[in-house]
């Protein structure tokens, strides 16, 4: 893409997109341009439509993948190339939202026990114990831990939001043991391989995949599964859903309410209308 690539990269920085999002948008734009082998400025709205149909029909790309390409193409034309008319008619695909597999408390314990590296284990414990996204856990600094108030300051979360979450006494003890063993160079709590960097989330994801296999867990497990488990276990323990919303950093209660759909304790405790009916061979519930 040459100059267009550089201008789009600048536009993404000016719009303050996260590095990972910028990288993904530039990759999608590059795939789009390379598909035609021509300057994007010379492509038409019909060409854009053909490319999206190619992703959908020939590549069998998921709706989420198509949505990511649409987002990148919209930035490319509406912002970088100043040709918004070419993307004005684009529609967002309907992305399915399947319910996640939820780890039980016993499975979470088995998972932690199966993590070989103490450093990776305490990062995953932090993700579960505070309901953090894996990137948020990896980016924690020592100053973010307030043992006096027993809270963690989560900085620059999703959409740039800050929030406070609880600092579990068990997690605090694990973090102190980790600190004594590794003595990480401040201010980074979980440093990466290069000085001054944080550990990469992909490194923790790899360690988690190995631990899932060692623990014999058959569910689909990602670092985000620990955040799902955190919310579900809190809900099942009686925590108010509004409190869970604040802890997770959700802007809408609707995002948090989906955990009521996966909380088996709440589902099992809900009486069925059948229980109030007189049925053959059954009894009437008073």
CB 142 within 8 A of CB 189: yes
Determine whether 121 is an active site residue.
Answer: no
Among the listed residues 27, 219, 224, 265, the single catalytic one is 224
- CA–CA separation, 251 and 255 (whole Å): 8
CB 1 within 8 A of CB 41: no
DSSP string computed for 159-188: GG--EEEE--HHHHHHHHHHHHHH-PPTTB
Taking CA atoms, 199 is separated from 50, 62, 111, 134, 194, in Å, by 40, 30, 20, 10, 9
Among the listed residues 7, 67, 158, 205, the single catalytic one is 158
Determine whether 119 is an active site residue.
Answer: no
CB atoms within 10 A of CB 117: 14
Among the listed residues 86, 120, 121, 227, the single catalytic one is 227
Determine whether 50 is an active site residue.
Answer: no
Among the listed residues 86, 133, 139, 233, the single catalytic one is 133
- CA–CA separation, 176 and 145 (whole Å): 11
Among the listed residues 25, 77, 178, 259, the single catalytic one is 259
Determine whether 49 is an active site residue.
Answer: no
- CA–CA separation, 76 and 6 (whole Å): 11
Sheet architecture: strand order including 145-146: 145-146, 151-154, 163-166
Determine whether 227 is an active site residue.
Answer: yes
Determine whether 158 is an active site residue.
Answer: yes
Give which of 37, 50, 49 is closest to 87, Cα–Cα.
49
Quick one: which H or E segment has residue 144?
none
Catalytic (active-site) positions = 133, 158, 224, 227, 250, 259
């Amino acid at each position: 893409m040459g100059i267009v690539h550089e201008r789009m990269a600048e536009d993404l920085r000016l719009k303050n997109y996260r590095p990972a999002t910028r990288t993904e948008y530039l990759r999608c734009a590059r795939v789009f341009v390379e598909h035609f082998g021509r300057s994007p400025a010379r492509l038409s709205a019909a060409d854009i439509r053909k490319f999206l149909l190619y992703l959908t029909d020939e590549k069998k790309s998921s709706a989420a993948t198509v949505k990511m390409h649409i987002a990148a193409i919209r930035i490319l034309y509406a912002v970088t190339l100043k040709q918004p008319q070419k993307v004005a008619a684009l529609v967002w695909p309907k992305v399915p939202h399947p319910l996640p597999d939820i780890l039980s408390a016993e499975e979470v314990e088995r998972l932690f026990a199966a993590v070989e590296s103490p450093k990776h284990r305490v990062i995953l414990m932090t993700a579960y114990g505070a309901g953090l996204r894996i990137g948020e856990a990896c980016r924690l600094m020592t100053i973010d831990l307030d043992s006096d108030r027993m809270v963690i300051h989560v900085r620059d979360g999703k959409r740039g939001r800050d929030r406070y979450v609880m600092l579990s006494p068990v997690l605090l003890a694990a973090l102190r043991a980790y600190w004594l063993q590794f003595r990480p160079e401040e201010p980074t709590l979980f440093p990466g391989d290069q000085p001054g960097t944080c550990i990469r989330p992909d490194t923790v994801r790899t360690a988690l995949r190995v631990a899932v296999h060692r623990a014999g867990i058959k569910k689909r497990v990602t670092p985000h599964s620990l955040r799902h488990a955190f919310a579900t276990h809190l809900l099942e323990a009686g925590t108010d859903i509004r409190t869970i919303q604040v802890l997770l950093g959700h802007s809408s209660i609707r995002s948090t309410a989906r955990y009521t759909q996966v909380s088996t304790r709440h589902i099992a405790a809900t009486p069925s209308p059948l229980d109030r009916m007189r049925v053959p061979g059954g009894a009437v519930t008073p």
